[in-house]
C-alpha cells in the first residue's frame, strides 16, 4: 500500500531530477551558444584575412601593370594602374584596421606612400626610371614583410 510519505518521496525525486536536468540543459545550451559565437567570429576573422591577402595581391598586380606600362613608355596607362593600385591599397589598409594589426597597418601605410610617390613621379614631364625602380624595390620589401603578418592574422585571432 502506498503511503503519503511514499508519494511525497517520489514527487521530490522527480522534481529534483527535473531540476537537475533543466539546469544541465541550460548550462549546456549556454556553452554551445558561446562556442558557436566564437566559431563564427573566427570564421569572419579568417574571411577578412583572406580578403586582405587578395586585396594585397591585387595591389601587386596593378603595380606590376604600372611598371610594365612605364617601361614600355606608356606613361598614361602607368598612371591609371598606379592610381588603381593606390586606391586598392587604401581599401586593404582599412580592412587591416578592422583586424587590429598595427604592424600590418604600418606596412600598408608605407605601401600607399610609395604608390603615391610613384604617381607623383609619373606626373613629371620626364619621370625618372631609377627613382621609380628604387620605389619598386621598396615595394618588394614591404610585400615580403606584409605577407607573414597576413598569415599571422589568418592563423591567430587577434
pLDDT per residue as tens digits for the range 18-38: 889 999 999 999 999 999 999
Region 45-155: CATH code: 1.20.120
Please determine, for residue 155, whether its predicted confidence score (pLDDT) is greater than 90.
Answer: no
Please determine, for residue 66, whether its predicted confidence score (pLDDT) is greater than 90.
Answer: yes
**Residue 101: closest CA among 139, 141, 53, 59:** 53
Cα angle: 131, vertex 135, 121; to 5 degrees: 50
Is the sign of the CA dihedral 63, 69, 73, 76 positive or negative? negative
DSSP SS3 for 24 = helix
Measured CA to CA, the distance from residue 36 to residue 30 in angstroms comes to 10
* Helices H / strands E in the chain, number of each: 4, 0
What whole-number percentage of the chain has pLDDT above 90?
54
Distances (CA, A) of 148 to 3, 31, 40, 134, 139: 75, 34, 24, 23, 15
What whole-number percentage of the chain has pLDDT above 70?
98
pLDDT score for 93: 92
DSSP H stretches of helix in 72-128: 75-99, 102-123
Measured CA to CA, the distance from residue 10 to residue 49 in angstroms comes to 58
Identify whether the C-beta of residue 144 lies closer than 8 Å to the C-beta of residue 43: no
Please determine, for residue 157, whether its predicted confidence score (pLDDT) is greater than 60.
Answer: no
pTM of the predicted protein model: 0.75
* pLDDT class of 8 with cuts at 50, 70, 90: confident
- Tell me the pLDDT tens digit for each residue of 100-140: 889 999 999 999 999 999 999 898 888 888 888 888 888 88
Average pLDDT, the chain: 89
20's grid cell: 537537475
Identify the DSSP state of 73.
T
Amino acid at each position: 500500500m502506498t503511503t503519503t510519505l511514499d508519494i511525497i518521496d517520489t514527487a521530490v525525486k522527480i522534481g529534483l531530477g527535473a531540476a537537475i536536468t533543466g539546469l544541465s540543459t541550460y548550462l549546456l545550451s549556454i556553452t554551445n551558444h558561446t562556442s558557436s559565437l566564437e566559431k563564427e567570429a573566427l570564421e569572419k576573422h579568417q574571411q577578412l584575412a583572406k580578403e586582405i591577402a587578395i586585396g594585397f595581391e591585387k595591389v601587386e598586380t596593378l603595380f606590376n601593370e604600372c611598371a610594365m606600362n612605364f617601361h614600355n613608355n606608356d606613361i598614361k596607362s602607368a598612371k591609371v594602374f598606379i592610381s588603381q593600385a593606390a586606391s586598392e591599397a587604401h581599401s586593404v589598409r582599412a580592412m587591416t584596421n578592422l583586424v587590429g594589426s598595427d604592424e600590418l597597418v604600418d606596412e600598408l601605410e608605407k605601401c600607399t606612400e610609395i604608390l603615391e610617390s610613384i604617381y607623383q613621379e609619373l606626373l613629371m614631364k620626364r619621370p625618372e626610371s631609377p627613382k621609380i625602380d628604387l620605389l619598386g624595390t621598396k615595394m618588394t620589401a614591404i610585400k615580403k614583410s606584409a605577407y607573414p603578418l597576413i598569415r599571422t592574422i589568418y592563423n591567430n585571432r587577434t
